Amino acid sequence: MRWATRAAIHIDRAACAWLIRRHIDGQADFIFVADPAEIPADATTFDIPGAELSHHAGDCSFETILRRYDLADPVLWRIAAIAVTSLGLLWRKIPGTSLRRPRRHRRDPAAPTASQPPSATIRRKITQARTV
């Protein structure tokens, strides 16, 4: 069977190819395309936007394939957790989080940086702490 995905290989695609060859189709023939128009009609697509075997409902492609083919091996789900973490999607798996990436904390503009000397108040507190 032929399987097609995007050419720029990343952790999720590499893990999916391994999963497919190891647990779904031992004779899998992989095609990596730069343009979705290049996908052969007889190929099963994975990790391509809009494909059945892609990111869905917060799952990465690896997890989608596990669910689609009813692969319940706990080791495979542990590998899925590694793939999710490496993709930076772990925040989606934490209960109570939204599907939006959390905002980073912004640095206080009043806080001194390495290029700014500390204020007189901070210098006085540092000096007092050293003498105690």
Domain boundaries, the chain: 2-93
pLDDT by residue, tens only, the chain of 132 residues: 899 999 888 888 899 999 999 999 999 999 999 988 899 999 999 998 888 999 888 788 999 999 999 999 999 998 888 887 776 654 455 454 444 444 555 555 555 555 555 566 666 666 666 665
At 39, the amino acid letter reads I
User: CB-hemisphere CA count at 13 Å for 98?
Assistant: 4
Enter the pTM of the model: 0.64
Cβ-contact 44, 53 below 8 angstroms: yes
Strand order, beta sheet including 29-33? 29-33, 2-6, 44-45
> Using N-to-C axis directions, what is the helix angle for 61-68 and 11-19, rounded to 10°?
20
Q: Which of 118, 99, 25, 15 is nearest to 58 (CA)?
A: 99
**Rg of the chain, C-alpha, whole Å:** 24
Strands (E), 1-132: 2-6, 29-33, 44-45
User: Residues near 102 by Cβ (< 8 Å), separated by ≥ 6?
Assistant: 91
Query: Tell me, what's the pLDDT at 43?
Result: 94
